[in-house]
Structure 1
Amino acid sequence: MEKKKLYIGFITYSKEAMAYLPYFLDSLFNQNITNFETLAVDGNEDGTDRNIKLLNKYPQIKIISKGKNLGFGKSFNLMINDAQKNGAEYFMVLNPDTILESDCVNNLLTAIKNDNNLASVSPKIYKWNFVPDKSNEKTNIIDSFGIVLKTGLRFFDLGQGQIDHGQYENAKIFGPSGAAAMYRMSALEKVKFNNQYFDELMFMYKEDCDLAYRLFLAGYSSALVTTAKMYHDRTVSGKGDGNILIALNRRNKSRKAKKWSLFHQLIIIKKYWRLQNTINKISILKHVFLMFIFSLIFEQYLLIYFFKIFRTKVNKY
């Protein structure tokens, strides 16, 4: 039997995933191409096997791990390693709280195959208004058209919260969002360290930004594939990248999400500090100072991470 070149992986975390999975899996297995392998990690730790029972209804899904929440990075590293051992040339990361248009995977695969300098590609991801048994609305509001990098090692989802008027048809991106990303396996092999593709120091949040930076340093590029479209019911979505808007958006984030996001941003800064020019270093210091003051006044539980980063060993570049 001919080995399949594309592997697609996803993680299920908790009982909340149950509501999404029928829609997600239906859209995934109704793509206009079928020559891909599907891998899953079930991170549900509530002692039930509700997600596993549903996944087992799909014999084409190979379950790599179950019963423990390993985090985003480690879970996908397990799946990418499995794909690599089986001769995969491309790997697609997906969140299960998404639905895909029927030509999404094929359009991404065609784009990355046709440009050897591309390490990754991103679809157009729109907001999905999903409420179980009540709402299943696709919108033209942008969730993420990929990650962009701004001064000070700050990463943002391109267009998030905006209505798509075609304003990003020729946009350049730094990398794809972890909600949906297709990678070239040979590029991932070049930038992995300690057998890790995603940095496992980052349990969840920012690991897609870190991988995008390493691929950039290796000389690769990324692209937004405007013909590939899908929809995401993001737990927390932003409305822009200005300082005031960022502060307002924080009200919707859980404490755990804020802790991960801050600490992982500090990890990225520590990893790539030596590569930054003077202007960028000044911008980074200014931004970290503002984050510290904000935490001191409003979110004191975050202060420990400004000190923890000094004790954390990272792979510096």
Structure 2
Amino acid sequence: MRVSVIVVNWNGLHLLPSCLAALQRQTRPADEIIVVDNASEDGSQAWLQQQEIPGLRAVFLAENTGFSGGNNAGYRVASGDVVVLLNNDAEPEPTWLAEALPLFEDARVGMVACKILRADRTHIDKVGHLIYRDGQNRGRGTGQVDRGQYDGSDEALWPDGCAAFYRRSALEYCRTAEGLFDDDFFLYAEDAELGMRLRWAGYQCRYQPRAVVIHQHSATLGKFSARKLYFIERNRLWLAVKTFPLDWLLLVPWFSLLRHLANAWAVLRGKGAAGGAAGDIGTAAMLGALVKAHWHALLKLPRMWSKRRHLVRKLGSREMKCVLRHYRISLRELTLQD
């Protein structure tokens, strides 16, 4: 089983050495490591050209194509039977690849999620994903102290793009015109959209708690920023329009209203991610990002609706709704998580 690891970099020279060093320490080495540089201006390209790491291949892009476009560029040159995505701000433990790869011996498995811990190594960043009824998705276990509560090997909804394993044949079966991700998403929720495509096609996602990655959370745009909020809000609407069962899609405005009201209450109390963002970037900046995100999402709704036709559907709507209900996140948990 040949393995390709793709690392997308944008002005991450301060992150690349430790990320690539962690990949070199793997007990089961990757067959190729593809670093895609998104037109960095911090010396990343010059540094990469000087490296003599076995299996390393650098791809230099003329412009910043985001997480989606960068991974698509890496995917086009990857040759592995298993394609692995790794953020440049993530450092896998030495047995990361060795622990996750055996799960692909089951032909039904198209994705593998791993345990992603925050930099303090005691708090969970995410162990797979959960989803709310308006398309907003959040990492399972986010912010919790890791006490072994997620140490059972079981299924997950889909893996987080920070550290994700995919069967190449499954990706080819459900591929977009660009290859791996939908380029329109650019940044955030692209892993959710891919996960939904693979789920519709009948593939499972397994979770391997012994495959551990340490993640410097939101190192690219920061924990709170208006730009990050913009992408998250815009893309969750596109995710719903493109991949939700039709009767669920019709209820998205109602559940969005409930979530926005809950976030407004959280801002007033200084709680959760909304309260933190309001304190960091200001309420006016948050509202501006939300308005802009919804406007731009609406402009491309016809385009996203047309893309629904390309979903490969092995599951019926009822089966998909059962999957999504199993991995739903409550409004309280969603709005109070940091």
User: Is TM-score (shorter-chain normalized) higher than 0.5?
Assistant: yes
| TM-score, structure 1 normalization | 0.81
CA drift of 1:89 comes to 0.8
Deviations 1:39-97 (A, max 9, x none): 01112443x534431453134311122452111111111111211xx4x2110000011
Letter in 1 for 2:52: Y
Kindly report the root-mean-square deviation, in angstroms, between the aligned alpha carbons of the 2 structures: 2.5
- Taking the TM superposition and a 5 Å limit, the aligned residue runs for 1:89-238 are 89-112=81-104, 114-129=105-120, 139-170=121-152, 171-235=154-218
Deviations 1:156-212 (A, max 9, x none): 101010012221233531100010001000000011122432010011000000000
Distance (Å, rounded) in 1 between the aligned partners of 2:129 and 2:189: 10
Q: Which moved more, 1:28-37 or 1:288-297?
A: 288-297
Distance (Å, rounded) in 2 between the aligned partners of 1:304 and 1:156: 22
Q: How has the CA–CA distance of structure 1 residues 289 and 208 changed in structure 2, closer, same or farther, with 3 Å as cutoff?
A: same
Distance (Å, rounded) in 2 between the aligned partners of 1:276 and 1:152: 12
Does 1:259 find its partner at 2:242?
Answer: no
Contact 2:133/2:255 (8 A) holds in 1: no
Q: How has the CA–CA distance of structure 1 residues 166 and 217 changed in structure 2, closer, same or farther, with 3 Å as cutoff?
A: same
Contact 1:6/1:90 (8 A) holds in 2: yes
Distance (Å, rounded) in 2 between the aligned partners of 1:261 and 1:33: 35
Does 1:40 find its partner at 2:38?
Answer: no
Distance (Å, rounded) in 2 between the aligned partners of 1:45 and 1:23: 18
Q: How has the CA–CA distance of structure 1 residues 100 and 287 changed in structure 2, closer, same or farther, with 3 Å as cutoff?
A: same
Q: How has the CA–CA distance of structure 1 residues 78 and 297 changed in structure 2, closer, same or farther, with 3 Å as cutoff?
A: closer
Give the fraction of aligned pairs with identical amino acids, expressed as a percent: 22
Instruction: Give unmatched runs, 5+ long, in structure 1.
Output: 130-138, 237-250
Does 1:13 find its partner at 2:10?
Answer: yes
Deviations 1:91-131 (A, max 9, x none): 0000011111111111111222x2111111011110114xx
Q: Which moved more, 1:167-176 or 1:184-193?
A: 167-176
Distance (Å, rounded) in 2 between the aligned partners of 1:164 and 1:305: 34
Say which structure is richer in helix.
2
Does 1:289 find its partner at 2:289?
Answer: no
Distance (Å, rounded) in 1 between the aligned partners of 2:49 and 2:101: 25
Letter in 1 for 2:7: F
Instruction: Give unmatched runs, 5+ long, in structure 2.
Output: 265-282, 310-338
> Counterpart of 2:19 in 1: which secondary structure?
helix
**Count of matched residue pairs:** 282
